[in-house]
Amino acid sequence: MKSVTAEDLRRLSTEAQTAPRLRKNLNLHDRLEDPIQRLCNALQPGTYIRPHRHPDNVWECFVLLRGACSIILFDQAGRINERLDLALDGTTIAEIPAGSWHCVVALAADTVVMEVKPGPYVPGTFMAWAPEEGTPQARACLSWLERAQPGERYGDG
């Protein structure tokens, strides 16, 4: 039987604090080819998850375990359709529809979400306007994502 303890989550968050991308995952699935991908993902504020989408048949379910984050959905043109804040005293579970453009923004230190999605793992496609990770433009985009609301598009106004 596999299990994840509170200490495992604390350790994962600590590893995310020092990781170059400010995030760290703990896979519960054995291989990237597994038909269901299951993982805990520790996110620290400042991590930039480039807006992307998975193949059309891949939905994602997020379960908040610690901290707080926002899930942002975009239309084809990059305009925000929906922003859902996950918090332990509010909404804690969200499912992203298959084929949706999206990203996740950490709102609190030591945020951990459990992700479940169909496998096998196939890398996503990034939105053309979304800056590459690790660039100064990515930092500016993340700053916008942290406060952006439905109807807004990056680079407008």
Ranges under pLDDT 50 in the chain = none
- Buried/exposed code over 125-148 (b: 16+ C-beta within 10 A; e: otherwise): ebbeebbeeeeeeeeebbeebeeb
Fold of 6-147: Jelly Rolls (2.60.120)
Longest dimension (CA), the chain: 52
Q: State if pTM tops 0.85.
A: yes
Task: Verify cis geometry, omega within 30 degrees of 0, for the bond prior to 120.
Answer: yes
In the prediction, which pLDDT does 157 show?
Answer: 62
How do residues 43-89 score in pLDDT, each as one tens digit?
Answer: 999 999 999 999 888 999 999 999 999 999 999 999 999 999 999 99
Q: Measured between alpha carbons, how far is 114 from 104 in angstroms, rounded to an integer?
A: 13
